Structure 1
Amino acid sequence: MFEHIDLNHLLATYGYWAVFLGCVMEGETILILGGMAAHQHLLKLWPVIAWASAGGMLGDQLLFWSGRYFGARLLPRLKRQQAQIKRVTGLIERYPSTSVFSVRFLYGMRLVGPMVIGASGLSPLRFSLLNMFGAMVWATLFVTGGYWAGEALERLFGNLKPYRLPIALGVVVVVAVVAMVLHLRNKRKLRQ
């Protein structure tokens, strides 16, 4: 079934859009895969970083404005995220600028964080500037990490072309397992 998929064509045609949309929604997995695709010369490194930065920034801007206009009604309804909401609220009160920059790097805060920041009353201009800087650093770190992972895998296996789909699926599985472990650890901490 998978032998008929032309991954090169799909990446060349939709790769940058996939990076952009993936980063609007969440991002880390698609960033790593985008970096690996750049290493394989299927995509170019700097456009991957630029599209990822733009997608990450747009996603957080949308969440910020959702929090700004609907946060008072929406945040209390997010029963499962109350611990994250409380954590982000504490970060914003103590370190407003740092929290805007770092919230995308904290597990479980990427979606809730910008909404809480929007509801906090932080200046939209201040959020936008810090969000842009944070998105660029975040995209650069994860994309170059993917690029270096591609380099390491190529040294191990040689030509990666026959292994591209299994590697992509492997990255997705590894990221999912790490996310599940972190989620379960956070859940255990909340029970204590």
Structure 2
Amino acid sequence: MGDLHSALVAYGPIAVFLGAAFEGQTAVIAGGFLAHQHLLPLWLSLSCATAGSFLIDQGLFLAGRRYRAARYVVRAAQTPAFAKALEFIERFPISYIFAFRYLFGLRMVSPIAIGVSKIGALRFTLLNLASAALWAAIFTLMGYWFGQTIEATFGRYKGFEHHLTVAAVVLVGVFVVFHIGKCAWPHLRARFSR
């Protein structure tokens, strides 16, 4: 159990950072749960979640901005769906920047689309930072409060929190693998059905 504890303390911040960047809410909730278990400081879980979310979205925005004049991007922007999305983004930029992290399926493409739009880089950076901090706080605190609920419910079992931590880490791992597989399955099926 000491090895698991040491690993969670050493690599937990990295896992929360990468999870916030590439997976989303589940990793951030797990970071809050680890903070409740005193394996990570709460401020560190919040900071790693904010930084991971902010940096990936900032990078995707910059990629959209850098390649918005590329022929394939210009062609994509002329399709009715993309044009409608850009119109919505430019009409409600603050609302969209604060909302896209919560919209299933739009998490990774939205910053690219915003980069293609006319929204200024400084404006996006400031809104992105505020949005990432709010998103991280919501889901980290959900994990933290969930830990309090679990502890209140099962607190009478001595040593139970260690088993619960292991179970939470395993569940998060299974969820991440399932999520990646779910996203990759249509592409793999299309590739092998040709």
Q: TM-score, normalised by structure 2?
A: 0.77
State the Cα distance separating 1:26 from its structure 2 match: 3.2
Partner of 2:33: 36
Which of 86, 105, 108 matches 1:108? 105
Partner of 1:162: 163
Q: Within 1, Cα distance between the matches of 2:81 and 2:107?
A: 10
SS of the aligned residue for 2:67 comes to: helix
Cα gap change, 1:119 to 1:47, in 2 (>3 Å): same
Structure-to-structure mapping, 1:15-164, within 5 angstroms: 15-71=12-68, 73=70, 88-158=85-155, 159-164=160-165
Q: Across the two proteins, how many residue pairs are aligned to each other? A: 174
Identity %: 41
Cα gap change, 1:145 to 1:84, in 2 (>3 Å): farther
User: Which of 154-163 and 57-66 deviates more?
Assistant: 154-163
Task: Kindly indicate whether the alpha-carbon contact (under 8 Å) linking 1:88 and 1:99 is maintained by their aligned counterparts in 2.
Answer: no
Structure 1: unaligned runs, 5 residues or longer: 181-192
Partner of 1:11: 8
Q: Within 2, Cα distance between the matches of 1:75 and 1:108?
A: 19
Task: Kindly indicate whether the alpha-carbon contact (under 8 Å) linking 2:27 and 2:172 is maintained by their aligned counterparts in 1.
Answer: no
State the Cα distance separating 1:24 from its structure 2 match: 2.2
Per-residue displacement from partner, 1:85-106 (whole Å, max 9, x unpaired)? Answer: 5674343032012111211121
Q: Within 2, Cα distance between the matches of 1:60 and 1:97?
A: 15
Q: TM-score, normalised by structure 1?
A: 0.78
Per-residue displacement from partner, 1:16-54 (whole Å, max 9, x unpaired)? Answer: 122112222232111011000000000011111011111
Cα gap change, 1:163 to 1:133, in 2 (>3 Å): same
Q: Within 2, Cα distance between the matches of 1:83 and 1:113?
A: 16
State the Cα distance separating 1:156 from its structure 2 match: 2.7
Q: Within 2, Cα distance between the matches of 1:124 and 1:33?
A: 32
Structure 2: unaligned runs, 5 residues or longer: 183-194
Task: Kindly indicate whether the alpha-carbon contact (under 8 Å) linking 2:28 and 2:140 is maintained by their aligned counterparts in 1.
Answer: yes
Cα gap change, 1:54 to 1:166, in 2 (>3 Å): same
Cα RMSD over matched residues? 3.0
Q: Within 2, Cα distance between the matches of 1:84 and 1:33?
A: 36
